[in-house]
Amino acid sequence: MKKVNILHIITHDTGRYLGCYGEDVKTPEIDKLAENGIIFTNYFCTAPQCSPSRASMFSSLMPHQNGVYGLAHRGFILREDIDYFPKILKRNGYRTFLFGIQHETTWDKTETIGYEKVFKGKDSSCDNVTPLLIEFLKQKPSEPFFISCGFIETHRPFPIVEDVPENLKVPSFLPDEIEVKKDIAGLNILVERVDESVGKIVKTLEETGLAKNTLIILTTDHGIAFPGAKATLFDPGIGISLSLIHI
């Protein structure tokens, strides 16, 4: 039986702030994937911080078990004896690649967590990471691959928006104030940017014929960067999106 390619796309600080979760933001490409795949509506991260959440996803261990109970760039890095997901796949015949950002360990240790090659680009914005991934996919790799594609979006800072649409809605746990609306308008720009990138990636998978044998996992690490969400244990802090799609 032919191994299924795995494409893992993970954003920063997005929570469930997507159209397919009922939020007032335009994400037609992601919504389409969710509609044609499986969308998880009761999915939570292990901790409302970037590194602990990500490390738990790929180790199946809680932060106090895998060593990542704080941010990787502050010294909390994954134990090297952990049987990490990319490591497991690499042992089982997968080529393993990282595009963009990871936040589970320091950059000099990406090989220890199982990545064969890293494509960092100019920065970790989806505007710069997506073209690298598309170019790779256009080569139609013949061996089964695991790709983790990490975007810095929707991490702060947000684009500055002064003219806010009158009908712009804010999440229910935030006050409906003009300054909050400006922030949400900036967040919307980044979410829509990610959605556009996801659409381009899916289109490339379809054009190259890779779509029929590729599982797409689309997720994030924790809630949006607002009071009562990111870095808190309230639902908006630990409730995150997850969609699985085999086109």
pLDDT digits (tens, 9 = 90+) for 60-87: 999 999 999 999 999 998 998 999 999 9
Question: What is residue 100's predicted lDDT score, i.e. its pLDDT?
Answer: 97
- Report the distance separating Cα 147 and Cα 230, nearest Å: 26
Instruction: Express each pLDDT in 156-214 by its tens digit.
Output: 999 999 999 889 999 999 999 999 999 999 999 999 999 999 999 999 999 999 999 99
Dihedral-angle region of residue 9 (phi above 0 means left; psi in -120 to 50 means alpha; beta otherwise): beta
Name the pLDDT band for 121 (thresholds 50, 70, 90): confident
Full-model pTM: 0.96
Q: What angle do CA 122, 230, 96 make, to 5 degrees?
A: 45
- What is the spatial distance between Cα 2 and Cα 215, in angstroms, rounded to a whole number? 13
pLDDT of residue 2: 84
191-203 as b/e: b if 16+ CB within 10 A: bbbbbbbbbbbbe
